[in-house]
Amino acid sequence: MTDATMGQVRPERRLSVNWVDLGPFLALAALMVVGFLINPDFLAINNLTNVVTRSAFVAIIAVGATFVIASGGLDLSVGSMAAFVAGVMILFMNALAPELGTSAIPLGMLVVVAAGALCGLANGAITTIGRIEPFIVTLGTMGIFRALITYMSDGGTIPIDRSLRDAYRPIYFGDVLGIPVPILVSLAVAGAGAFILYRTKFGRRCIAVGANEEVARYSGVSVARIRTLAFVIQGICVGLAAICYVPRLGTATPTTGVLWELQVITAVVIGGTALRGGRGHIWGTIAGAVILEFIANLMVLSDFVSEYLVAAVQGAIIIVAMLVQRLSK
Amino acid sequence: MSRAAALEPVAPLAAPAVLAVRGIGKTYGANTVLSEIDLHIRAGEIHAVIGENGAGKSTFMKILSGHVAPTTGTLALGGRPVAFSGPAEAEAAGIVLVHQEILLADDLTVAENLFLGRELTRRGMIDDASMRRLTRERLASLGSSVSPDAIVGTLSLADRQLVQIARALLESHQLVIFDEPTAVLTSEEVETLLALVRQLRDAGAAILYISHRLDEVEALADRVTVLRDGRMVGSFDGAELTQADMARLMVGRELSTLYPPKGAVAIGEPRLEVENARVPGFIEDVSFTVRSGEILGFGGMIGAGRTELFEGILALRPGRVGALLVDGRAVRIARPIDAIEAGIGYLTEDRKGKGLLLDEGMAPNLTLSALSRFNPGLVLDGKREEAALGETIARYDIRVRARGVKAGQLSGGNQQKLLLAKVMMTDPSVVVIDEPTRGIDIGNKSQIYAFVQELARAGKACIVISSEMQELIGICDRLLVIRNGRIAGELAGEAMTEDAVVMLATGAAGQAGTRGETQA
Amino acid sequence: MTNRLMTAVAIGALLAAGSALAQERKTIAVSIPAADHGWTAGVVYHAEKAAEEVKAAFPGIDVVVKTSPTAPAQVSAIEDLAAGGNLDALVILPHSSEELTTPVQAIKEDGTFITVVDRGLTDPTIQDLYVAGDNIAVGQTTAEFLVDKLGGKGEVVVLRGIPTVIDDERIKGFEDGLKGSDIKILDIQYANWNRDDAFSLMQDYLAKYPKIDAVWANDDDMLLGVLEAIGQSSRTDIKYALGGNGMKEIIEKVMAGDAMTPIETPYPPSMIKTAIYMTAANLSGQVPIRGSVKLDAPLITKDNAQEYYFPDSPF
């Protein structure tokens, strides 16, 4: 029995391969190989950067969603919230532009992050103080945010002031050392997210709250505060995504961010985070977001899927990706 | 002990067995959990299987009920060899299992639960009338008057247990297996259940009764099979065996040192003083004081509100206290964290549901209540956490194959030790331990008792809540008994006897037979 | 009949009737989808404009505009509008043909004049008047322009919207318009009438096809995404990127003589205005109007763009 007891038990090294963490990246690699076989253009550097850049919004929002889901919540309002805060940011920048010129842009960025945080705070506070299921709360705010952007735009378009357009464009279209800015932003957000989730007290408590709310409560963790903060982080991520999104088309419209919430949740789940909470895989989430965008890209680049069946094939690939992960456990 | 030493295993009788078990064994990988089990279970006989946790009782039961296939050996039912590929086959063959946990749908009625998955139909439509009539008859035959239309979630645990038994017995049965059926019952309810088991036996069924409550086994069993470390110690005649014999056979050693000696610790200043605690629905008015070095026990019937008393005091559920002093300082506890910061640690009775994150490793569990201690700057210090785990494993003798195992994979005893270590991470001056040894085998029990006494010796004030009277009497310096939401009495020293506790807990001292009042 | 002509007829009728019949007050209810994207926002804008103008021009007629976010909400809305029992006319742009047919029929049976706009009901006998744009022409006019400008040959990619009759008709019109030429459609994919989806799809088209002569997005919202993707790619092979619907941002481009987007085809949300005017004209009793009116989708060029430009409209 002695060999099985305490002192001799060696601390486990993190070097051992963790298949759950690796799963989404394997799936991504497999997808790249399949993509190349289908159409060699797939691996063209231009195509790859385009696709990864496009995935940035969903990836950034999904990092926030990883916190919400890991802590046992769910946020359906992110797509509408993105449209709403993007609209707020544009209106704010446009109002300041005549006086401040391009300095309106950084101020607008601060405003959009603050707006996102407030929206997240609203979601979190209603959920925790009101003791209502996050599914229902965010279903409600999803409608509210969507209606607000529609109202703000009269159902049409909120365009960014022409004088700001060119100065702001590089945030989506620019690059640093050849890497597009949105990719850098999403990596930075993921890095920060991973740090918070894995290395801080808050992250640990987030996981505990998601794994078992009662255990967390009995351990002296303030469940309401942790849940609310997770929603605030989600809101901040939505704000950051909006910063990258607006310069692409220069507008916010009532159709901005439609169905992003589903893409975000799918990315998180493909990334290995369980919907029931208690686990969070930030880097897997990023891989999940990229996988989703690659699948869409591949559907266009391949010739053998009828346009009518694209959605079916996408759905099937997502299910297969999940099955591969399940089996690799 | 001379009489016990003379006990000899009884050879199987020649009478035909309902179930003959021959050479049954089970191996997982290189790990043999059960080997060479031989026994006969006869009609009209209650056959108890006892053993410590990990002795192989549950594996054995799972093999008989078709949940697990044996690696070696054969089963013969009514003389014909059988091999079950699943519980449904075992059930079809007439082996029914009454689970330890209550597996009923809370939102359905009694009748709906009874017939769930095997509803009666009439011309293609659900035949409610017949099902309700049959339910009423079945329950009546078990001596219960529960309405077939009652919602199961509103019933007491004992009634739910009964419904579960009725459901198991709905199918024709030759062998009924009871797996720790009294774990959730109060002592009077236990009596009712034991009578029911006898009634089934007298009706001709073969009964396999698995329990670690030796008093029940002694009262009930016609035959007792003892398992130890996956092997059979032997089958014995129930009438010949005392509880002490059983304990000795299970453990393989004498148990004289289960409880540490008392009086070794000097009792000092008050560490926790609680005045006029009130918990709506459970506690009317309770005041008490516990001192440094003291182990104070809380006794009472299940449902008397002892757990709720402390959950109320510690802000884990709504409650109010008139005044609360820790080491003489007044403290207000509005949130659970306030209690931890004030130096009061609470070990919940619900280890799996409220104590530990079963899907997490040991280290995150250990440090969850005390993360600030592992957070020198902005970042959690993983090395410090690992070091703390190392110390904990050594200090509390937690036995694991690897450090990375999840808390859910630990045995009950190891989980309890981990939970104790987790609470101690917050360095409390007052430790409240709710059901310290529930579901723990004897070896771990004595260790836990020793730990509690060590805490007292270190000057902490300890509070123990337990439903096991022997345990309370064995380790506590003083005992408070709760009844009807108030303290019914205080016992100390020689006055702490089981009889005295029962009298206070049931109110029998004043008026006999008022047990019902103490029920929640 | 063109949009302009019909409107002229209607206004003429209104003015003639205005002085004659002021004593009996009549009510026109207008039921339209809520503004949830550019085109419906335009519908709301034009409906409200028309309501003001009709009420101002003719004090005897009251116009009530009601928007509904979903088909069931629209059913409730028209039932509420008709509940008073003195509804003289209903102008409706149905959310969906199937769900609205029966409720509209019930209102018709109370003697209410029914004008259906854009999307037909499943039973055309219910409507007294039907005003719609020509989706086939939207595709066909664009295709004919491309055949002409590309000299009858070239390679194009197409972005379509959401699987609906409108989408199918536009694609059919486009394919018909290309018939007989050597212009080849390289690819057709759905982009949900959404500019973000169109941006992504166009990027993918650009990655997949090294040479593209022209792009057609069957809706202007998508065209905006397409133009952004082309702009970023710095590709020079694309000669034309065209849309359809008459969105003001695109009309502005046409007016400015944009080289890549020199033309536009209208499917104007102002058709609701046409319908309201004509209904008002009928209600006056002076100009009985029955039948179907299909607004043409003429080519909008730099020369006539001003006519289709509503700077105050959200669309």
In this structure, which long-range contacts are made by residues B6-13, counting pairs with CB atoms below 8 Å and at least 24 apart in sequence?
B7/B236, B7/B240, B7/B241, B7/B245, B8/B234, B9/B233, B9/B234, B9/B235, B9/B236, B10/B223, B10/B234, B10/B235, B10/B236, B10/B237, B12/B38, B12/B39, B12/B40, B12/B235, B13/B40, B13/B42
Q: Are C177 and C141 in contact (CB under 8 A)?
A: yes
C144 and C188 assigned to the same domain: yes
Report how many Cβ contacts below 8 Å link chain A to chain C.
99
C and B touch per CB criterion (3+ pairs under 8 A): no
Could you give the CA distance from residue A302 to residue A314 in angstroms, rounded to a whole number?
13
Q: Is the Cβ of B339 closer than 8 Å to some Cβ of chain A?
A: yes
Could you give the CA distance from residue A252 to residue A157 in angstroms, rounded to a whole number?
6
Of C101, C115, C92, the residue nearest C31 (C-alpha) = C92
Domains in chain C: how many in total?
2
* Average pLDDT rounded to a whole number, residues C272-291: 84
C139 and C123 assigned to the same domain: no
pTM of structure? 0.77
C170 and C187 assigned to the same domain: yes
Question: Which residue reads 């280290």 in tokens?
Answer: B363
Selected for mutation to probe chain A from C228, C247, C312 (highest A CB count within 10 Å) is: C228
Helices (H) and strands (E) in chain A, counts: 15, 4
Residue C221, in any domain of the structure: yes
Strands B72-77 and B46-50: unpaired
Residue C163 pLDDT greater than 70, yes or no: yes
DSSP A328: H
CA distance A17 to chain B (A): 14
Phi, psi for residue B419 in degrees, rounded to 5: -65, -40
Could you give the CA distance from residue C31 to residue C116 in angstroms, rounded to a whole number?
10
Q: State the distance between the two ends of chain A, measured CA to CA, in whole angstroms.
A: 30
User: What is the pLDDT at residue B56?
Assistant: 82
* Average pLDDT rounded to a whole number, residues A33-44: 89
C7 CB neighbour count, 10 Å cutoff: 16
Which residue blocks in B232-345 are alpha helix, DSSP H? 243-251, 306-313, 336-342
Residue in A41, A255, A300 nearest the CB of C201: A300
C230 and C275 assigned to the same domain: no
C-alpha distance from residue B371 to each of B149, B366, B430 (Å): 49, 9, 20
Domain boundary pick from C205, C222, C255: C255
| Least confident stretch, A29-33, A66-70, B170-174, C153-157 | B170-174
3-state secondary structure of A99: helix
The CATH number assigned to the domain holding C251 equals 3.40.50.2300
Residue C254 pLDDT greater than 80, yes or no: yes
CB-CB under 8 Å, A7 with B394: yes
Name the burial class of residue A4, with classes exposed (0-12), middle (13-18) and buried (19+) by CB atoms within 10 angstroms of its CB: exposed
Residue in A44, A155, A249 nearest the CB of C36: A155
Residue A50 pLDDT greater than 60, yes or no: yes
Which CATH superfamily, name and number, covers B1-85+209-253?
Answer: P-loop containing nucleotide triphosphate hydrolases (3.40.50.300)
* Half-sphere CA count of B28, side-chain side, radius 13 A: 6
- Among left, alpha and beta (phi > 0; psi -120 to 50; other), residue B315 is left
CATH code 3.40.50.300 region(s) in chain B: 1-85+209-253, 270-518
DSSP A9: P
CB-CB under 8 Å, C224 with A39: no
Q: Is the Cβ of C179 closer than 8 Å to some Cβ of chain A?
A: no
Residue in A50, A155, A308 nearest the CB of C35: A155
Q: Are A62 and A289 in contact (CB under 8 A)?
A: yes
Q: Which helix (H) or strand (E) holds C185?
A: strand C182-190
Closest alpha carbon within chain A to C34: A155
Residue ranges in chain B modelled with pLDDT below 50? 1-6, 11-14, 510-520
Strands of the sheet containing B486-492, edge to edge, are B329-330, B323-326, B270-279, B283-291, B486-492, B478-483, B295-299, B461-465, B430-434, B344-347
Structure tokens belonging to residue B72: 């070696």
Could you give the CA distance from residue C258 to residue C240 in angstroms, rounded to a whole number?
10
Selected for mutation to probe chain A from C36, C43, C196, C249 (highest A CB count within 10 Å) is: C196
Could you give the CA distance from residue C217 to residue C211 in angstroms, rounded to a whole number?
17
Residue in A156, A258, A307 nearest the CB of C190: A307
Residue in A12, A219, A220 nearest the CB of B403: A12
Q: Is the Cβ of B366 closer than 8 Å to some Cβ of chain A?
A: no
Q: What is the domain range of residue C199?
A: 135-255
* Average pLDDT rounded to a whole number, residues C225-251: 91
Residues 425-454 of chain B whose Cβ lies under 8 A from any Cβ of chain A: 426
List chain A residues with CB under 8 Å of B372: 201
Of B243, B244, B189, the residue nearest B221 (C-alpha) = B243
Structure confidence by residue, pLDDT tens digits, A250-281: 899 888 998 899 999 999 998 988 888 888 99
CB-CB under 8 Å, A216 with B368: yes
Q: A17 pLDDT band (50/70/90 cuts)?
A: low
List chain B residues with CB under 8 Å of A7: 390, 393-394
User: What is the pLDDT at residue B142?
Assistant: 79
List chain C residues with CB under 8 Å of A253: 37-38, 195, 221
DSSP B436: T
Length of chain B: 520
CB-CB under 8 Å, A249 with C224: yes
A269 CB neighbour count, 10 Å cutoff: 23
CB-CB under 8 Å, A208 with B357: yes
Question: Which residue reads 């095997």 in tokens?
Answer: B118
Question: Which residue reads 């005897």 in tokens?
Answer: C60
Q: Are B243 and B255 in contact (CB under 8 A)?
A: no
Q: Which chains touch C (3 or more CB pairs under 8 A)?
A: A
3-state secondary structure of A40: helix
List chain A residues with CB under 8 Å of B341: 220
Residue C22 pLDDT greater than 50, yes or no: no
What is C197-250 written as a DSSP string? HHHHHHHHHHHH-S--SEEEESSHHHHHHHHHHHHHHT-----EEE--B--HHH
Q: Are A150 and A158 in contact (CB under 8 A)?
A: no
Closest alpha carbon within chain B to A16: B404
What is A111-150 written as a DSSP string? HHHHHHHHHHHHHHHHHHHTT--HHHHHHHHHHHHHHHHH
Selected for mutation to probe chain C from A154, A263, A306, A314 (highest C CB count within 10 Å) is: A154
Residue C81, amino acid: L
Residue C124, in any domain of the structure: yes
CA distance B396 to chain A (A): 9
Residue in A4, A218, A221 nearest the CB of B316: A218
Residue C263, in any domain of the structure: no
Q: Which residues contact B477 (CB under 8 A, 6 or more apart)?
A: B262, B267, B294, B295, B296, B492
Selected for mutation to probe chain A from B313, B349, B354, B414 (highest A CB count within 10 Å) is: B354
CB-CB under 8 Å, C187 with A300: yes
* Average pLDDT rounded to a whole number, residues A3-21: 48
Name the burial class of residue B289, with classes exposed (0-12), middle (13-18) and buried (19+) by CB atoms within 10 angstroms of its CB: middle
Name the burial class of residue B81, with classes exposed (0-12), middle (13-18) and buried (19+) by CB atoms within 10 angstroms of its CB: exposed
List chain C residues with CB under 8 Å of A153: 41, 314
C144 and C120 assigned to the same domain: no
Question: Which residue reads 């916010």 in tokens?
Answer: A252
Q: Which chains touch B (3 or more CB pairs under 8 A)?
A: A
Strands of the sheet containing B72-77, edge to edge, are B31-41, B19-28, B72-77, B80-82
Residue in A153, A251, A296 nearest the CB of C200: A296
* R_g of chain C computed on alpha carbons: 21
Q: What share of chain C is helix, strand, coil (3-state, %, to 5)?
A: 45, 20, 35
Residue C175, in any domain of the structure: yes
The question of ipTM being above 0.90 is answered as: no
Residue in B336, B371, B379 nearest the CB of A218: B336
Could you give the CA distance from residue A124 to residue A111 in angstroms, rounded to a whole number?
20
User: What is the pLDDT at residue B439?
Assistant: 76
C155 and C83 assigned to the same domain: no
CA triple C201-C203-C208, angle to 5 deg? 90
C158 and C120 assigned to the same domain: no
CA distance C281 to chain A (A): 29
| Least confident stretch, A152-161, A295-304, B90-99, B500-509 | B500-509
Residue in A157, A258, A300 nearest the CB of C204: A300
CB-CB under 8 Å, A219 with B368: yes
Structure confidence by residue, pLDDT tens digits, A94-127: 999 999 888 999 999 999 999 999 999 999 999 9
For the four alpha carbons of A103, A104, A105 and A108, in that order, the dihedral sign comes to: positive
CB-CB under 8 Å, C249 with A157: yes
CATH of the structural domain A19-30+37-328, one choice from 3.40.50, 2.60.120, 1.10.3470, 3.30.2170: 1.10.3470
Q: Which helix (H) or strand (E) holds B95?
A: strand B95-98
CB-CB under 8 Å, A4 with B398: no
CB-CB under 8 Å, C200 with A256: no
Residue in A39, A173, A307 nearest the CB of C188: A307
Closest alpha carbon within chain C to A147: C36
Q: Which helix (H) or strand (E) holds B479?
A: strand B478-483
CB-CB under 8 Å, B426 with A12: no
| CATH architecture of the domain with range B270-518 | 3-Layer(aba) Sandwich (3.40)
Strands C240-242 and C182-190: unpaired
Closest alpha carbon within chain C to A39: C208
Q: Are B9 and B236 in contact (CB under 8 A)?
A: yes
Name the burial class of residue A308, with classes exposed (0-12), middle (13-18) and buried (19+) by CB atoms within 10 angstroms of its CB: exposed
* SS3 annotation, B156-221: CHHHHHHHHHHHHCCCCCCEEEEECCCCCCCHHHHHHHHHHHHHHHHCCCEEEEECCCHHHHHHHC
